[in-house]
Amino acid sequence: MTKTLVSAKDLRKNYGSLMAVDGISFEIQEGECFGFLGPNGAGKTTTVKMIHCVSPVTSGTLIVNGLPAHINNRALKKMTGIIPQEITLDVDLTVYENLIIFAKFFDIPKREAKKRIAELLHFVELEAKRNSKISELSTGMKRRLLVARALLNHPKLIVADEPTTGLDPQARHLIWQRLRQLKSEGVTLILTTQYMEEAQQLCDRIVVMHQGKILKEGVPSKLVAEQIGREVVEVRVPKEEDGRIVGQLAEFSSGHERVGDTLYFYCRDGQGLMRKLVELNLHNYLTRPATLEDVFLKLTGRSLIE
């Protein structure tokens, strides 16, 4: 039997007159990796900030590990590890000092902290940088140090807010591996991301957020199958031809969308659709498997969000 670790009901958050989170409900089970997906300003970060008790709840209920989330709830902060979106390392201190001081904040005894720091520097492959200044680290190293810092207190819950923003593929994969490893050790993981690949790699369940609301919830692969199908065919044709083409292809596709110069067809039978395209003498097309990105774009719209 799985236990619910986080439970939100009709959760709201206002910043003055701005409604950042608009009455959302969700449950996160112990040991799972739960992802919040959404464009900038969707309310993902605000939601996780309420979960890890640094931002007060405007209304609704939010229970974490059986306790109401509240900015003065030191017990919840003690069992949570945060990998923040921004690099909030202490630039006045060295790598080691960053960790030893942070361990103090969690009341970890010095001897235990030293042992833990050695383990963690190994875990994130930063042993060689132990006495370096923060300014001497690359972005990837800084992010890895943030991961190590978040693990000092042996957290039961890890909140990772866009943990791989600005990283090269190698560094990103290393972080993913570490997060998966933690999950296999039974840690509950809450992730916010704009990278669909990241969500597909790590998350058991996701919610797609937009303008403070949850649009969809589910298992990534099932959401793709339900919302899009198996394949996407992109056809580059002028807009004027839409009427003619869409009618001809209706029997093969489960839906279509026009964005800029491209017509997107969501389909279960890509082969059939392509044969038809050739018959219609349309050769400028591309077929590919459907991904979470298609779901995301279908739900939140393909135009720019600012």
List residues near other proteins by CB under 8 A. 15, 52-56, 71-72, 74, 77-78, 80, 82, 84, 86, 88-93, 97, 101-102, 104-107, 149
Question: Residue 54 or residue 246: which is nearer to other proteins going by CB?
Answer: 54
Q: Which two tokens stand for residue 202?
A: 């790590």
DSSP 196-219: HHHHHHH-SEEEEEETTEEEEEE-
Cβ proximity of 28 and 4 under 8 Å: yes
| Widest Cα–Cα separation across the chain | 74
Cβ proximity of 285 and 277 under 8 Å: yes
Report, in Å, the least distance between residue 286 CB and other proteins: 43
Report, in Å, the least distance between residue 279 CB and other proteins: 59
Residue 274: count other Cβ atoms within 10 Å of its Cβ: 19
Tell me the C-alpha distance between 269 and 278, whole Å. 15
Question: Residue 77 or residue 183: which is nearer to other proteins going by CB?
Answer: 77
Question: Residue 53 or residue 297: which is nearer to other proteins going by CB?
Answer: 53
Tell me the C-alpha distance between 31 and 281, whole Å. 52
Q: Which two tokens stand for residue 221?
A: 């692969």
Question: Residue 83 or residue 223: which is nearer to other proteins going by CB?
Answer: 83
| Long-range contacts (CB closer than 8 Å, 24 or more residues apart) made by 63-72 | 63/6, 63/7, 63/8, 64/5, 64/6, 64/157, 65/5, 65/6, 65/156, 65/157
Q: Which two tokens stand for residue 263?
A: 């017509």
Report, in Å, the least distance between residue 189 CB and other proteins: 16
Cβ proximity of 21 and 47 under 8 Å: yes
Question: Residue 92 or residue 279: which is nearer to other proteins going by CB?
Answer: 92
Cβ proximity of 205 and 219 under 8 Å: yes
Report, in Å, the least distance between residue 75 CB and other proteins: 8
Question: Residue 67 or residue 278: which is nearer to other proteins going by CB?
Answer: 67
Report, in Å, the least distance between residue 50 CB and other proteins: 11
Report, in Å, the least distance between residue 72 CB and other proteins: 5
Tokens 């931002």 belong to: 55
Question: Residue 130 or residue 216: which is nearer to other proteins going by CB?
Answer: 130
Report, in Å, the least distance between residue 161 CB and other proteins: 10
